[in-house]
């Protein structure tokens, strides 16, 4: 263009970039009149310590270690409009099988995060708005076992609200995907600092433990260890509070009924719902003094001297009481055996973490970048002929139509994500399959380049692979007709 301005056509924004400047996403620049991708192409490497005997046609160079390399989508660039082939279509050979990896940075307008927060503490009511910078970026969704869950982003927050809502959502998602901390507030609930792979911070307090189970599960797990040391144990839990002597576990151990009735709705023997309001107190309730959940003590059943342990699902809160002559619980120092049993609960808790799963749908440019007949790619993924990875990390592909995937961002290389101001997230994605399968699904044969050529002609950044991830370039199991 005039004055050496270049137009970037890697996304619908179509930036006009002046010499020495970068485009709106900071990913592309004008270098001397040429459009260049600012960041290097990231490749991951692994050392194969056993060089196969007589496997290669090339003469053996004497090395006992061979390095395998995988081209990730990080720094690969994007394609727009959709019909263009992906930036890199890389040929490699693994264990005598010709493989192809189609590499791209996908622009995900349809994407969001599923955030799992290991805490009992109440974050806010289900469906409540989750906000950053005053804008709603998601909502509280169904709690899971020992964890509170958030659903963040999604196309409605990115595109369906105000421009500011879309941009704030996009930046929050980007930061979380790149493992940076983000503070969110929940309407009618808590302020939470989220960071992938780190402990959540709820209202300024760092969470330490993920509970061993609900109140009923804790009763079942530890009943035998309490039996003989306590006459009653009540495990306080926002969802299912457990009462040992009523519970099947206590009955199996022939424990005498203690006559202590907790408030709330009795579900089944020894299992009570709604003993308190949710909160940041004992076991995710608003309880500060556990005795307040005791509705009554039956004088026909209970007895003076009855030993009562009240404990939360993480063992973080615990109290030891003995009933006096008037059957009133009196706090006393905890005996050593009970202290050990409470510590056993804590020992069985896992470290509380925040887990961030990126979820997105492979759309037009991604599928058309692989083949002119995108439905064949979708089928190939469903038939497990094509392996999908994000930055080399394994993904879960949802059953049903399309290519809707989820990936744990901590298994991806750091700083793997970018954005474009449409707004949308940019994430690396790779499709790996046998070359024969690639050609059969209508792939861009004339764009396939040998790995060595890609590595030689591109600015690279080498990163060690995450050893927990399977190596992405492995041939699929032989097909029936191949056998």
Using CB under 6 A, list all residues that contact ligand SF4. Answer: 8, 10-11, 13-15, 23-25, 27-28, 420-421
Rounded to the nearest whole angstrom, what is the least distance from the CB of residue 17 to ligand SF4 in the complex?
Answer: 6
Residue closer to ligand SF4 (CB basis): 35 or 175: 35
Q: Which of 24, 455 has the CB closer to ligand SF4?
A: 24
Comparing CB distances to ligand SF4, the nearer of 14 and 452 is 14
Q: What is the DSSP string of 343-359?
A: HHHHHTSEEP-EEEEEE
* Stretch (H or E) spanning 248: helix 248-252
CB nearer to ligand SF4: give 27 or 69. 27
Q: Are strands 350-351 and 329-331 parallel, antiparallel or unpaired?
A: unpaired
CB of 222 to ligand SF4, least distance (A): 56
H/E stretch holding 131 reads strand 129-132
Kindly provide the b/e burial profile for residues 43-70, where b requires at least 16 CB atoms within 10 angstroms of the residue's own CB.
Answer: bbebeeeeeeeeeeeeeeeeeeebeebb
Least spacing, CB of residue 367 vs ligand SF4, in Å: 19
Q: How far is the CB of 28 from ligand SF4 (least distance, A)?
A: 4
The residue of the chain with the least Cβ separation from ligand SF4 equals 23
Pairing of strands 318-323, 6-7: unpaired
Nearer to ligand SF4, 14 or 337 (CB): 14
**Smallest distance, ligand SF4 to C-beta of residue 167, A:** 13
β partners of residue 208 = none
CB 186 within 8 A of CB 141: no
For the bound state, the minimum distance from the C-beta of residue 7 to ligand SF4, rounded and expressed in Å, comes to 8
Question: How crowded is residue 375: how many other Cβ atoms within 10 Å of its Cβ?
Answer: 12
- Residue 250 vs 423, nearer CB to ligand SF4: 423
Q: Which is nearer to ligand SF4, 6 or 234 (CB)?
A: 6
Say if CB 159 and CB 169 are below 8 A apart.
no
Residue 87 or 189: which CB sits closer to ligand SF4?
87
Q: How far is the CB of 62 from ligand SF4 (least distance, A)?
A: 45
Q: What is the DSSP letter of 412?
A: S
Q: Please name the residue that has the structure tokens 């470290």.
A: 351
Indicate the angle between helix axes 336-347 and 215-226, nearest 10 degrees.
140
Question: Minimum distance from CB of 15 to ligand SF4 (Å)?
Answer: 3
The Cα–Cα gap between 113 and 115 comes to 6
The residue (of 25 and 454) whose beta carbon lies closer to ligand SF4 is 25
Q: What distance in Å separates the CA atoms of residue 97 and residue 428, rounded to the nearest whole number? A: 25
Q: How far is the CB of 12 from ligand SF4 (least distance, A)?
A: 7
Look up residue 293 and give its DSSP letter: G
Tell me how far, at minimum, the Cβ of 132 lies from ligand SF4, in Å.
22
Distance CA 285, CA 277 (A): 6
Q: With respect to ligand SF4, which residue has the nearer C-beta, 12 or 52?
A: 12
Residues 6+ apart with CB under 8 A from 420: 11, 12, 13, 24, 25, 27, 78, 107, 426
Task: For residue 201, list its beta bridge partners.
Answer: 193, 206
Spatial neighbors of 160 by CB under 8 A, at least 6 apart, are none
Residues 55 and 170: their CA atoms lie apart, in Å, by 48
Residue 426 CB, shortest distance to ligand SF4, in Å, is 8
User: CA dihedral in degrees (15, 19, 20, 25; nearest 10)?
Assistant: 0
Q: Rounded to the nearest 10 degrees, how much is the dihedral formed by the CA atoms of 161, 167, 168, 173? A: 110
Joined together, the tokens standing for residue 48 give: 């194969």
Distance in angstroms (rounded) separating the CA atoms of residues 64 and 79? 40
| Beta sheet of 66-71, edge-to-edge order | 66-71, 41-48, 460-464
Nearer to ligand SF4, 10 or 381 (CB): 10
- Minimum distance from CB of 370 to ligand SF4 (Å)? 20
Question: CB 40 → ligand SF4: shortest distance, Å?
Answer: 17
Distances (CA, A) of 4 to 20, 27, 238: 10, 19, 65
Closer to ligand SF4 by Cβ: residue 103 or 293: 103
Indicate if the alpha-carbon torsion angle 130, 136, 138, 139 is positive or negative: positive
Nearer to ligand SF4, 42 or 275 (CB): 42
């Amino acid at each position: 263009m005039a004055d050496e301005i270049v137009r970037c056509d890697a996304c619908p924004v179509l930036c006009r970039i002046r010499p020495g400047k970068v485009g709106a996403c900071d990913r592309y620049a004008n270098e001397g009149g040429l459009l260049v991708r600012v960041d290097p192409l990231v490749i991951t490497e692994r050392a194969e310590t056993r060089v196969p005997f007589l496997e290669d046609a090339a003469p053996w160079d004497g090395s006992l270690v061979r390095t395998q390399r995988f081209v990730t989508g990080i720094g690969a660039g994007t394609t727009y409009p959709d019909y263009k082939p992906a930036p890199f279509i890389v040929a490699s050979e693994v264990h005598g099988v010709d493989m192809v990896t189609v590499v791209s940075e996908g622009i995900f307008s349809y994407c969001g995060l599923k955030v799992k927060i290991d805490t009992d503490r109440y974050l806010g009511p289900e469906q409540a708005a989750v906000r950053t910078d005053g804008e709603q970026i998601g909502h509280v969704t169904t709690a899971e076992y020992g964890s509170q869950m958030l659903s963040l982003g999604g196309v409605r927050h990115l595109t369906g609200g105000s421009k500011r809502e879309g941009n704030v959502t996009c930046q929050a998602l980007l930061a979380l995907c790149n493992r940076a901390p983000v503070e969110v507030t929940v309407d009618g609930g808590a302020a939470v600092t989220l960071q992938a792979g780190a402990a959540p911070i709820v209202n300024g307090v760092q969470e330490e433990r993920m509970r061993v189970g609900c109140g009923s599960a804790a009763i079942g797990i530890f009943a035998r260890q309490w039996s003989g040391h306590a006459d009653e144990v009540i495990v306080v839990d926002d969802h299912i509070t457990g009462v040992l002597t009523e519970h099947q576990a206590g009955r199996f151990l022939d424990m005498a009924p203690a006559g202590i009735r907790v408030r709330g709705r009795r579900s089944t023997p020894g299992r009570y719902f709604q003993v308190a309001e949710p909160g940041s107190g004992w076991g995710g309730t608003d309880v500060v003094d556990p005795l307040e959940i005791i509705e009554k003590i039956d004088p026909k059943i209970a007895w003076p001297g009855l030993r009562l342990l009240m404990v939360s699902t993480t063992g973080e809160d615990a109290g030891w009481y003995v009933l006096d002559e008037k059957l009133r619980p009196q706090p006393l120092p905890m005996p050593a055996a009970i202290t050990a049993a409470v510590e056993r609960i804590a020992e069985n808790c896992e470290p509380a973490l925040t887990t961030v799963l990126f979820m997105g749908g492979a759309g037009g440019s991604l599928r058309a970048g692989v083949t002119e007949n995108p439905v064949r790619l979708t089928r190939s993924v469903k038939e497990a002929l094509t392996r999908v990875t994000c930055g080399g990390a394994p993904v879960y592909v949802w059953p049903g139509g399309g290519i809707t995937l989820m990936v744990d961002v901590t298994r991806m290389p750091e700083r793997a994500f970018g954005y474009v101001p449409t707004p949308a997230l940019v994430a690396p994605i790779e499709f790996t399959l046998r070359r024969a399968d690639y050609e059969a699904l209508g792939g861009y044969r004339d764009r396939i380049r040998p790995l060595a050529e890609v590595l030689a002609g591109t600015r690279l950044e080498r990163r060690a692979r995450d050893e927990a991830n399977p190596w992405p370039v492995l041939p699929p199991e032989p097909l029936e007709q191949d056998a």
